[in-house]
Structures are given as C-alpha cells and as structure tokens.
Chain A
Amino acid sequence: MFNRLKNYKDLFFVFVWRELLIRYKQTAIGVLWALIQPLSMMALFVIVFGYVLNINTKGYPRSLFYFAGLVPWTFFSSSVNASINSLIDHRDLITKIYFPRELIIFSRISVFITDFIISAMLLAAMVFFCKTPFTLNFLWVIPLCVLLFLFTASVCLLFGTINVYYRDMRLASGFLLQVWFFSSPVFYSIDTISLKMKLFLFLNPLTYIIENFRRVLIEERGIVLWQFAIAAGFVMALFFVSYKIFIRLERSFADVI
C-alpha cells in the first residue's frame, strides 16, 4: 500500500513545502494565525459556554479545559475542511500528470500538523502555568496524536474522493462538521452525561480521542487500556479501508473530476 509512494518522497516534500509557502503568502501576520485561531475560539468558548451557559468543566480552569479540547478538534475540522476541495483544486495536475493522488491530501494535512504542533506547545505552556503536576501519563498524548492523525487522514481521503464524484460533499460539509463538533466533547466532558448518551457518543472516534487527550493532560489520569485497544483497532481498520478505496477510485479521477 505504501510501496507506491516510495519513488515520490521528493515530490511529497516539495508539496508540503509549497503548501507551507503559499499558506502565509500575502498575509500581514503570517504564522501567528496558527495561534490566534484556537485562542480566539477559546475566548469565545469561555464567554458563551462558561459565563452564559455555565457548562460544568469539572472544576478545571475553563480556558485550559476548552483549549485542550480545541487543539485536537481544530486540527481535525480544518484538515477535513481543506481536504474536501483539495483534489478539485488540483484538477490541472490530475488531468495532466500521474503521481499518487493521496500526496495532495497528505501534504495538505501536514500543514495542519504544523499548526497543531504550534498550538500544542502553547497548550503545554498553559498546563505548566496552571501548575498541573507532571506525570508519566502525559506520554499517552503521543499515541493519541497518532490516532488523531490516522483518523483525520481517513476522513479526508474519503470526503475528498466523494467530492470528486459528487460535489454534494462540499455543500454538506459545513453542516456535517457542525454536527460533528457538537457530538465531540470539545466544550463539555463525557463524564457529565448519562450512560446511554455516552455509548452513543463513543460511536464517534473523536469522542474517545478528545476526551482522553484532556484526561491525560489536565486531569492527571491515565487511559483505560482495553478502551484504547478498541479505539486503535477501529481507527487503523478505518484508515486501511479508506486508503484502499481511495487507491481503487483514484484511477478514474482524471475522467470524472
């Protein structure tokens, strides 16, 4: 599956480098946007969900609680948003030259990985300032990030492919992401809702990822191994299947795009 990418390593680097270059071309404050976006969302959350709706954050500082949820969520939603149109945006290339098309999507996601790393460093600084004692549980963040990246990549591959055939995807994406946002524990904690609802929400792998992301970072708790095994198994299977579908359909992209 990854063998086909062997000869295209350099092209991948050039794609990533180009995405980074054009991202902040003709902007005034450039890379600061990577920080401003999640920070302003956090401020908004503190006002709306905190002061207006008074949603329970289990006694943790509101800004920290929301920010810890926003960092993985922002990565997911902006990657998906940018990937849906990415294949169409490269119509000129796709109809003229062959290269593994997933490079387009993977390079686009890697730009958001850099954004993710920048905001994660800010999050680490916030955790430090809130005097959360450092425990080894922090290290769980790494496998959780891997799951987040794989899950995001699968969704991007699927949605990007669908959009090549049916532009309905692009029109549905706004609403879809909104529903997805409310069904992920970004501004609430899964602990505060009923068991029945909880089981339903866990159908969404992001629920697991975001909830545990916060758990190991600010709540000083570890993660439950068997739950992690199920989530990891599901995400890996999903990635495998969606990548296979992508490779199978990629051959006719130039005909239909």
Chain B
Amino acid sequence: MSSDTAIRFDKVSKIFSKGHRQYGTLRDEFISFFSKRKLTRSRNPNQFFAIKNLSFSIRKGESVGLYGPNGSGKSTLLRLVAKVITPTCGSIKVNGRIAPLIELGAGFHPDLNGFENIYMNGAILGMTIGEIKLKMDQIVEYSGLGDFMTTPVKKYSSGMNLRLGFSIAIHSDADIFLIDEILAVGDEEFKKRSFDSIKELLEKKKTLLIVSHDLKKLTKMTNKIVKLNKGSMLND
C-alpha cells in the first residue's frame, strides 16, 4: 500500500444473517473456530451480502461521500473501516487513526458528568489523558454546555448529548473521520457550526468518509461521491 493511501478495500464482502444468531449450533461454531478458511459454510437462505466484492481506495486528504438507499451497505462500510466488524472475506487496510462519528455519545456513561465523559469518550477515540486535559477547555467551549458540565449525562437532552459527542470527536486528533448522518440532528445553529468544522477538517487535509441522504449537502462537503446499492458500487 503506497504511503498516501488512507483506506483500501480489496474484494471485501460482508455477509449478515437475518436471524438473531450468526451461526447455528454449537457444533457449527466449534468447526468454524478451528477452520482457517472462511465462507466454507453452505449458502444459507437466511444470509445476505451487506457488502459484495467491493474494491476501492481512498487517498489521504480525500473526502468521499457515500450515497444510497437504506440497506445499501453504507453504514456497514463505515463499521468495516472502523474495525468494529471484520469482513467475511477480502482485506481492508487502514492507514492512520480513526475517529468514528458514527453514533455520537455512544461511549457516554449516564452516571458520569460531562467532564468525566469527555475523558471517557476522548480515550475511546484514541486520545491520551494528557491530550484530553490540554483540549478540555476547547471541547467545553465548542459544545457550549459550560453550565452543565458537572451534571450527570443521564439528565442531558439528546441535543446536548450530540453537542458534547461531536465536540469531543472533532477535537480528537484523528487522521480519518467517519461521519454517519449526524448532521441530520441538532438545531440550525449547531448544524451550521458542525458543517463549518467539517470544512475545516477538509482544509487540514484530513480524510473524510461521509454518509448522507442529502445529496446537495454531500456535494458541498466531498470531492467524490460513491453511490452504493445492495452492497455494490454503482458506476458514476
């Protein structure tokens, strides 16, 4: 992989099963644990391709928009990049630190207050404790939650959760940002501010991967738009 590639997918497929369990019986699981090869299981009608034989690469500093109907594999793709799930076959190379803005505030603990949760979420996003301390004031100011920082997060409204989560993520010094639909929530003022921040990330030559249903907005934030359908890329 050349040094200016940020993300590369090589013939990646991801199979999900419709049932609540991925594999069948204990026996199947035992066998699949010891078999090195994947995809040896017989084709099951309950399984479907969320991503099908996808190959592409994204250069550093590029901003790519993902567009497609529900169930086209956009979020699965982001989760594959974030290493949350592993591909059924194919390989993924990622070069750099990732900040998944997939569901902001996922790492918040309801009983902890704003400050404590900044440490928590910041560390999850790969910041060191020193870095978090250094950026604490900026994060608090950006979120605009000054008076509520000592309140337990369980008492926050969803808008406050979003503000704090976005603020932490945007201040994490990651190389690759994964952004999923988050701009759909929040009030007008915050939407505008987050839009500006994303523009700023672009200027800083960060790599962005943005999922949205809003094609107009997407064209403003990205240099390239990829259309997905049923797990495959449509040629544009």
| Interface of A toward B, CB cutoff 8 Å | 7, 10-11, 13-15, 17-18, 21-22, 25-26, 92-99, 165, 248-249, 251-252, 254-256
The answer on a CB contact under 8 Å between A10 and B123 is yes
Q: Is the interface of B mostly helix, strand, loop or mixed?
A: loop
Known: A92-B106, A252-B22. A98 touches B111 (CB 8 A): no
13 CB < 8 A contacts A-B: A13-B123, A94-B84, A95-B79, A96-B79, A96-B100, A97-B102, A97-B107, A97-B125, A98-B84, A248-B33, A252-B85, A254-B79, A256-B21
Q: A97 to B33, Cβ gap below 8 A?
A: no
B116 at the interface (CB under 8 A from A): yes
Q: Is the CB of B185 closer than 8 A to any CB of chain A?
A: no
Complex CA–CA separation, A13 to B16 (angstroms) = 35
Chain A: CB-nearest residue to B117: A18
Interface size class of B (residues with CB under 8 A): 20 to 34
Instruction: Assess the A256–B22 pair: CB atoms within 8 A.
Output: yes
User: Are A26 and B111 in contact, CB atoms less than 8 angstroms apart?
Assistant: yes
Bound state CA distance, A22 and B116, in angstroms? 11
Which 3 residue pairs spanning A and B have beta carbons closest together? A98-B83, A14-B123, A11-B123
| Extra A-B contacts (15), CB below 8 Å, given A98-B82, A165-B29, A255-B16 | A13-B129, A14-B120, A15-B123, A17-B119, A22-B111, A25-B111, A26-B111, A92-B107, A96-B82, A96-B103, A96-B107, A97-B82, A97-B100, A97-B107, A98-B84
Q: Contacts A98-B82, A256-B22: A18 and B109 contacting too (C-beta < 8 A)? A: yes
**Interface digits, B188-209 against A, CB 8 Å rule (1 contact, 0 not)?**
0000000000000000000000
Q: Is B77 an interface residue (CB 8 A)?
A: no
Q: Closest residue to A17 on the B side, CB-wise? A: B119
B112 at the interface (CB under 8 A from A): yes
State A153–B33 Cα separation when bound (angstroms): 22
Q: A95: which of B22, B29, B84, B119 is its contact (CB, 8 Å)?
A: B84
